[in-house]
Amino acid sequence: MAPAPGSAIHGMLVRGLEFLASAQLERGEMPAYRRGASGSLEYVSVLLVSACIHDALGCFDPLSMWFEPQACEHIDAPSRARFFRVVSGIRRGIRGFLAWQQDPRGAFRFFGRDSSLSFDPDTTACALTSLLDSPTGPTDVRCDALEPAQGLLGSPAQLIPRLNALRYLVLSGAGEPDGLAAGLEHWLGEEDLRAVSGTYAGTACFFFVLARTFRQARLPGLDRVASLAVPRVLLLAKAGEFTSSLSIALAASALLDFAYDGDMLHEAAAVLGRHAEASGVWGFEEFCGREYGSPALTTALSMTVLARVAAPGEGLV
């Protein structure tokens, strides 16, 4: 898939996808890493990273319920069919890997089934949502250990896991919890949102998960939540809260899911374009568990922002 002459976004998407395909392990896993004592990256199996990459690539996959045709219009016509096949293949491999990691109760562990840790509700919700998004239909995506949808008040550190669980439970037909709007208005009214990030890296993760939950689960009240969340995101952006590729991609994704269409999105896309390495890869950044991330995750999320923000034919300002 040779980049089309003069098409910066096309080239970045193609090179990014080639990197993702080469990074995927034979068993379908997208490898995660952490910084070692020497500063070098050390491989760690973190299922949440694979699930999040599967989710991010959905906008490029015609077989996904999250497919966005306009995001693929940057890929020139001769390359598009192969681009789709590669994306679908990567996501199919991830689902196979995740299905293999599921325990008899339907649950998942943060570091995988060989870990001595107990099941992780957050990883479980995200992995099950990935398995739901299968063109052949899920075989069994239930988890007896995952609690029914609950309200969003309580410990701030549990807000992101509760949102991820809410998304899965609504998509799987479990309904929505009572007190959803009240819970969100409570948290969005907080002056300092750092506590709601929990073990995730920064407030951008909270807004990303919040917006994704409302859009993908098609929850009522999206306009109301957006009216509260978007000004906070824009204010934090102007204050310099989002400077790394990952935080910019997460914040911009939230704005897109909240249907914001302002200059801030084009500025974010331009910065992501400048951050890209010559190979089209965005680097490692911590995402979850306070230290785990993946260049593949940063790349997948940055690709989706570039594709969703700029109209076909536009360059990076």
Provide the pLDDT confidence category of residue 3 given band limits of 50, 70 and 90.
very low
Residue 148 has pLDDT above 80, yes or no: no
Average predicted confidence (pLDDT) for the chain: 87
Residue 192 Cα distances to 56, 59, 183, 199, angstroms: 28, 32, 16, 16
CA-angle at 215, arms to 106 and 102, nearest 5°: 10
Report the amino acid identity of residue 7.
Answer: S
Pairing of strands 292-293, 41-44: unpaired
pLDDT bin (cut points 50, 70, 90) of residue 186 is: confident
CATH code of the domain in which 46 resides: 1.50.10.20
Give yes or no for residue 142 having a pLDDT over 90: no
Confidence grade of residue 313 (pLDDT, cut at 50, 70, 90): very low
Q: In this structure, is residue 191 part of a structural domain?
A: yes
Mean pLDDT of 63-76: 93
Overall average pLDDT of the 86-112 stretch: 94
Parent domain of 280: 8-309
- Residue 2 maps to a domain: no
Q: What is the pLDDT of residues 189-242, one digit of tens each?
A: 776 778 888 889 889 999 999 999 999 999 888 898 999 999 999 999 999 999
Tell me whether residue 297 is in a domain: yes
The total domain count for the chain is 1
Asked, for residue 94, whether it belongs to a domain, the answer is: yes
C-alpha span between 288 and 48 (Å, rounded): 8
Inform me whether the pLDDT recorded for 311 exceeds 80.
Answer: no
Q: Is the residue at 316 inside a domain?
A: no
Evaluate if residue 92 carries a pLDDT over 60: yes
In a domain, 287, yes or no: yes
Confidence at 315, pLDDT banded by 50, 70, 90? very low
Residues of the chain with pLDDT > 90, as a percent, come to: 63
- pLDDT tens digits, residue range 14-41? 999 999 999 999 999 999 999 999 999 9
Residue 176, phi then psi, degrees to nearest 5: -115, 155
Rg (CA), the chain: 18
pLDDT number for residue 152 = 58
Q: Is residue 138 part of a domain?
A: yes
In a domain, 137, yes or no: yes
